[in-house]
Amino acid sequence: MSRHVFAHARAVLPDRTVDDALLVVEDGIVVEAGPAVPGKVPSEAQDLRGALVMPGVVDTHSDALEKEQRPRPTVEFAPEFAVSSFEGRVRAAGVTTMYHAVSYQTNVYKDRTLARSIALAEAVRERAASGQALVDHRLLHRLDARDAEALKILEAVLTDRPDRGVPPLVSYEDHTPGQGQYRDLDSYRVMIQESENLDAAGAERYVLERIAAREPGIAQRARTLDQLGSWARSGRVRLLAHDVESAEQVAEVRGAGAAVAEFPTTVDAARAAKAAGMPVVAGAPNVLRGGSHSGNVSAEELVRLGLVDNLSSDYMPTTLLAAVLGLAERGVVPLHRAVSLITSGAARTAGLEDRGSLAPGLRADLIVLTLHGGQHTLRMSLLAEETRDAAEAPLSFARLLAGAVSR
């Protein structure tokens, strides 16, 4: 059995923050987490000297892997390299459980194809199964509601490659302008004009073309929700409704079988989701930037109103810790409540019951960081598997923590 003791840390526990804490881990499981009692700290304890220790971050939605694979329009790396490369960035951001948002759609504007998405998903699975990964890699299957071919591909993927232990996450979404994330057409025009380097007339033509292209897919959208709802009600998937904008839309997707509301665009939609018992996911970049880049509701406002259960990185994992530390610093919520938005709250969103808190019996995924000048520095990140002195481990952090070099 491996045993590791961390002392004199400022520990974020489920219900409070303890300024002088003791944390004991045995075989990758938390067995003790609470105040350090003077005179009773084990001699083998590692002194963290007041550094902040908290559960490892659970990121329920990040599509940044796509950008890692294709950092420029004319540059594409092998999906296997993209996953391992991105893994290092994720680990450095304090994320120990990562849900890669893989999009099943053909979208020339976002350079997405079904073939590329399938290859990325397979690379994520291979890395997860390799025994070498620095984070727990998982998948969030994003489905374009208006793409019939994408629905067929997703069904095949779910049949051939079921996720581990819990129902796979599927996000039902429609990003065509005039509704959902892009319901504010004025903000959408400005965004398109800047991102596509268009003049006002060109941006207007772009928007009108996208709206016109939306119409043929309306019937498919209804069929897609019906199919996904059937899978959700049978327990085959855990369904997330993306960019809900009204109480009526929340009622529709909830009735179909959706369990989670991702990125509600209005206060009314967030309130309706909470009232319906749906965890609400908002974006950490929205918090960090001080508002939505699409002209939608402020995520910080939703947090202040008690309407957010989980912050995800959306497209930038490094925003997660910065966002929650900022919420606590500004007094929006206490530190333990802010941290829960990217740990225990995120784990509940994903249906994971074995992680997300420094509490006895849970996985010892943990991170240690220091704060200075309004910024944080990650000092250590550990997966539960790395605190087990297992013979099959390629490199035992358990031995390194104990001061012995693994040979």
**Rounded average pLDDT over 339-355:** 97
**Rounded average pLDDT over 132-139:** 94
Q: Per-residue confidence at 221, pLDDT binned at 50, 70, 90? A: confident
Of the chain, the percentage scoring pLDDT greater than 70 comes to: 85
> In whole angstroms, what is the distance from residue 4 CA to residue 22 CA?
11
AA identity, residue 276: A
Using the predicted structure, report yes or no on whether residue 334 has a pLDDT greater than 50. yes
> In whole angstroms, what is the distance from residue 55 CA to residue 123 CA?
27
Q: Where in the chain is the domain with CATH 3.20.20.140?
A: 56-185+217-350
Q: What pLDDT is stored for residue 406 in this prediction?
A: 36
> In whole angstroms, what is the distance from residue 215 CA to residue 35 CA?
60
Using the predicted structure, report yes or no on whether residue 310 has a pLDDT greater than 80. yes
Model pTM? 0.89
Q: Per-residue confidence at 318, pLDDT binned at 50, 70, 90? A: very high
CA 265 → CA 36, 51, 123, 294, 301, distances in Å? 44, 37, 32, 9, 12
CB atoms within 10 A of CB 194: 10
What's the CATH number of domain 3-54+361-401, 2.40.10.220, 3.40.1350.10, 2.60.120.10, 2.30.40.10? Answer: 2.30.40.10
Q: Is the Cβ–Cβ distance between 141 and 102 less than 8 Å?
A: yes
Q: In this structure, is the dihedral angle defined by the CA atoms of residues 261, 267, 272 and 274, taken in order, positive or negative?
A: positive
Using the predicted structure, report yes or no on whether residue 211 has a pLDDT greater than 60. yes
Give pLDDT tens digits for 161-194.
666 678 999 999 885 654 555 666 666 666 666 6
Phi, psi of 136 (to 5 degrees): -85, 100
Bridge partners of residue 241, in order along the sequence = 172, 261
Q: Per-residue confidence at 402, pLDDT binned at 50, 70, 90? A: low
Q: What pLDDT is stored for residue 407 in this prediction?
A: 32
> In whole angstroms, what is the distance from residue 124 CA to residue 133 CA?
10
**Rounded average pLDDT over 192-217:** 69
CA 404 → CA 40, 56, 132, 134, distances in Å? 25, 24, 20, 20
Q: What pLDDT is stored for residue 16 in this prediction?
A: 97
Q: What dihedral do alpha carbons 388, 342, 313, 246 form, nearest 10°? A: 140
Using the predicted structure, report yes or no on whether residue 404 has a pLDDT greater than 50. no
Q: What pLDDT is stored for residue 177 in this prediction?
A: 53
Phi, psi of 301 (to 5 degrees): -60, -45
- The topology under which CATH files domain 56-185+217-350 is TIM Barrel (3.20.20)
Burial of 38 (0-12, 13-18, 19+ CB in 10 A): exposed
Run of H or E residues at 242: strand 238-242
Q: What pLDDT is stored for residue 316 in this prediction?
A: 96
Token readout for 91 is 């680990």
> In whole angstroms, what is the distance from residue 101 CA to residue 83 CA?
12
Q: Is the Cβ–Cβ distance between 58 and 347 less than 8 Å?
A: yes
Q: What pLDDT is stored for residue 401 in this prediction?
A: 62
Q: What pLDDT is stored for residue 295 in this prediction?
A: 79
> In whole angstroms, what is the distance from residue 271 CA to residue 23 CA?
37
Q: What pLDDT is stored for residue 181 in this prediction?
A: 59
Of the chain, the percentage scoring pLDDT greater than 90 comes to: 69
CA 82 → CA 6, 43, 71, 119, 220, distances in Å? 34, 43, 10, 11, 33
Phi, psi of 102 (to 5 degrees): -100, 125
Q: What pLDDT is stored for residue 213 in this prediction?
A: 65
Q: Where in the chain is the domain with CATH 2.30.40.10?
A: 3-54+361-401
Give pLDDT tens digits for 33-88.
999 999 899 999 999 999 999 999 999 999 999 999 999 888 999 999 999 999 99
Which residues, 6 or more positions from 111, have their beta carbon under 8 angstroms from its beta carbon? 70, 73
Q: What pLDDT is stored for residue 175 in this prediction?
A: 59
> In whole angstroms, what is the distance from residue 335 CA to residue 338 CA?
5
Q: Per-residue confidence at 405, pLDDT binned at 50, 70, 90? A: very low
Q: Is the Cβ–Cβ distance between 381 and 96 less than 8 Å?
A: yes
